[in-house]
Structure 1
Amino acid sequence: MKNLPPESPVHRRFAPTALMFGNLVTGCSILAPAGMLIELASDLHITVHTAGLLVTFGAIVLCIGSPLTAWLTSRIERRALLTATLAVLVLGNAASAFAPNYAALLVIRLIMLAVGALYTPQAAGTAALIVPVEKRGGTIAYVFLGWSLAAAVGLPLITFLTSRYGWRAAYGGISVIGMLSYALLLWRLPRGLVGALVDLKTWADLGRNRVIVVLLGITTLLMSGQFAVFTYMGPVLSRLTQLGPDAVGLVFAIYGVCGFLGIIAVSNIVDSWGPLRTSVLCISLVLSGVAGWALSAGVYPLMAVSAAIWGLGFASSNSMQQVRLVAAAPPLASASVALNTSFLYVGQAIGSGIGGALYAHELIYGIGYAGAAFVALALFTVILTRNLSVAKS
């Protein structure tokens, strides 16, 4: 494993930022359909549930692709790998803007995400290579800030653009942002970064690590609960409150801005609080927000406040999972973070599938309660991990 020398100004100031903006593009690419479900359904003459399958099927490809591509590409230098991944995301979003029908859009999305599955776990693993051990927690949380920006800025802009100029314009916008991120990463990420080789023994070692197995289960539960609600947040808000796309976009913006603030706060406290205490705080916020959403369904101001509370813990809880995995087995960090990302997408697939089934059967009020049940179980499991060695890391 090759690290940058600690005195290098590149990794201190610019490389983590370049990695973070790549996560912004990845997050927008993955979350985009959630901000345009109604418009996609109307323009492509499909149901909202069918449009939501872009999220579900995409998550299935992502959960398979993340560990598979980590294995296949572990010998590739990180700068070359990450810039190539961003290039595919740029081209995939551009092609999506010109998709003639739903089938073509789905195929383009699946191909794009099969490669895009690489970015988030490899960015986290690369961040661990370019900073001292004592700063890994805060740096990984900072790199994951790109996902918060995707929710805080990207998703509201996608909703805004889609409601006024159509979903094709939104995909085009993501492609343009991707080109800028590609240039920044190519410019600032150092050459010569190579992670630990991932082979079959690596996966066997991960499977024998009880801490890692438990953490992967927490990731699945946490994401299942959130994406049961998040995938259909826009259509549910529209139906229950009878408000238009601007009101829906405002809730997305509140959710995302709070996610941005949450991960900034976590980046500053995790190295002193420790990953376990910080993780409990973050998931408690998620549970409070999702439960509040369920209980206040139909009352717009209360749903917006619940989204704010939920947002504070959304991205930060995910980044804490990555920090705890890196601490559990540092030599296996690239593989464990890739596997965690895979289980994250398993949770997305499960959650969006459950949310879609409930939405299709007009059980709209039940979506929030189903999501809260999964998150509550995730929190309970996290509390149990206090007796595991990773809790003290």
Structure 2
Amino acid sequence: MDTTGTTARQPPLPGVLWALLLGNFVIGTGVMVVPGTLNELSSSLNVPVATAGQLISAGALVMCLGAPLLAAVVAGWDRRRLLTLSLLWYGVLHLLCAAMPSFGTLFPVRVLAVISPAIFTPQAAACVGLLVPPAQRGRAITFVFLGWSVASVLGLPLAAWIGGSLGWRSAFALVGLMSFASMAWVWRAMPDGIRPPALSAAAWRETLRSRALMLCVAVTVLYSAGQFVLFSYFAPYYKARLDLSPLQLSLLFAWFGVFGFIGNVWMSRNIDRLGTARAVMISIAGIALSLLLWPLGTSLLLAALVMVPWALGCFSSNSAQQARLVGLAPMLAAGSIALNTSAMYAGQALGAASGGWLIAHGQMHVLHWAGLGGVLLAMLLSWRASLASPPLRQA
């Protein structure tokens, strides 16, 4: 079968998905603004890099705990109002972050700011099923998650460049202003009355008891932790190893982001043909390959080449995992996606904390080996998940 021709004949996705994509772009840029400006945060606020990295760990922990808890709290909310308010909150709190005079005052404000990613990303994904027909569900979910890839292409390198040139406060303020613009588009594009059905206590129990779903969630914890052991500290790592300037670092982030975007676009177009389990395995394998070859990145050019497989799999793995969960149990998607988002942030918190501990003990050179261990375990568990029986509640 000519899959290219089949894809070309698919009906276009509704315009509201573009607004959700932009929302994820802003959310992703805000989440990654700390890794992008870690050197500037450390020097400006007079704290060690490992201490500044606690902003990543603490924020990820809040997002981890907040995603499932807030999913229950906001279950009956109209999604137009919920998503708009979450972006408004994000904008206001990032502008407040930019005004904080010390690490001690910045820390709690940043923690409050990242409540928004715990709401926006999983709730945007959960309502996609009400915006498109079932045949477009996998494509639509991966399309919305392209926003995170675009954040890595444009948002993260822009934040790193602005942080290095104008200071970290300017980078945080930019995220705040972009949040307001995204809020306006979501309010305009999102129809009223989109309320995914709330999960009952019985449905939550069914989700938590599903071996297939919980194995998939564990996979997300492991590959997220494996990546963030090193990804959280790209800026100080490359400063120490290759003495990169802010411009070179932003270009390297942009390079990573371009291939992250390519990987996600490719995944969006091919996931229905590959199958979600196989798509997840291909993405994670790319990450593992880069971490295995990491010691070869002894120059800017070689470092850029080594990170290409990782970039291709980084964001596509998240998109494929979300689609995998929705496909396993569409009626449980609100709960499983919230748990998976929580797992992603739990892995980020675990990885950032582990990487910070290694750096504090003078072991920056082993960050990639620690990450590789987590990613290989994720591949093993993903294979086991593909053998598990699916949950009972299929659409």
TM band (smaller chain): over 0.9
Partners of 2:272 and 2:61 in 1: CA distance: 33
Amino acid aligned to 1:68: L
Partners of 1:127 and 1:107 in 2: CA distance: 32
Amino acid aligned to 1:222: Y
Task: Tell me whether 1:185 sits opposite 2:178 in the alignment.
Answer: no
Task: Tell me whether 1:325 sits opposite 2:354 in the alignment.
Answer: no
Structure 1 residue 27: deviation in Å?
A: 0.7
- Contact preservation (8 Å) 2:68, 2:339: yes
Structure 1 residue 139: deviation in Å?
A: 0.7
The residue number in structure 2 matching 1:378 is: 378
Count residues with an aligned counterpart. Answer: 383
Structure 1 residue 100: deviation in Å?
A: 1.4
User: What's the secondary structure of 1:191's corresponding residue?
Assistant: coil
Partners of 1:390 and 1:139 in 2: CA distance: 22
The residue number in structure 2 matching 1:363 is: 363
Structure 1 residue 328: deviation in Å?
A: 1.4
Structure 1 residue 326: deviation in Å?
A: 0.7
Structure 1 residue 29: deviation in Å?
A: 1.3
User: What's the secondary structure of 1:117's corresponding residue?
Assistant: helix
Structure 1 residue 198: deviation in Å?
A: 2.9
User: What's the secondary structure of 2:159's corresponding residue?
Assistant: helix
Partners of 2:163 and 2:277 in 1: CA distance: 40
5 Å matches for 1:183-222? Answer: 183-222=184-223
Structure 1 residue 387: deviation in Å?
A: 2.2
Give unpaired runs (5+ residues) of structure 2. Answer: 1-10
Structure 1 residue 11: deviation in Å?
A: 8.9
User: What's the secondary structure of 2:114's corresponding residue?
Assistant: helix
Partners of 1:73 and 1:96 in 2: CA distance: 26
Partners of 1:165 and 1:232 in 2: CA distance: 20
Structure 1 residue 176: deviation in Å?
A: 1.4
Partners of 1:12 and 1:160 in 2: CA distance: 34
Amino acid aligned to 2:53: G
Partners of 1:287 and 1:390 in 2: CA distance: 27
Structure 1 residue 122: deviation in Å?
A: 0.5
Deviations 1:212-240 (A, max 9, x none): 11001100001000000100011101101
Partners of 2:297 and 2:49 in 1: CA distance: 19
Partners of 2:201 and 2:167 in 1: CA distance: 45
Task: Tell me whether 1:141 sits opposite 2:142 in the alignment.
Answer: yes
Partners of 1:254 and 1:128 in 2: CA distance: 33
Partners of 2:102 and 2:43 in 1: CA distance: 12
- Contact preservation (8 Å) 2:87, 2:116: no
Identity among equivalent positions (%) equals 35
- Contact preservation (8 Å) 2:165, 2:246: no
More displaced, 200-209 or 73-82? 200-209
Partners of 2:383 and 2:84 in 1: CA distance: 38
Task: Tell me whether 1:18 sits opposite 2:22 in the alignment.
Answer: no
TM-score, normalised to structure 2's length?
Answer: 0.94
Partners of 1:390 and 1:287 in 2: CA distance: 27
TM-score, normalised to structure 1's length?
Answer: 0.94
Structure 1 residue 298: deviation in Å?
A: 3.6
Partners of 1:180 and 1:289 in 2: CA distance: 36
Structure 1 residue 390: deviation in Å?
A: 5.0
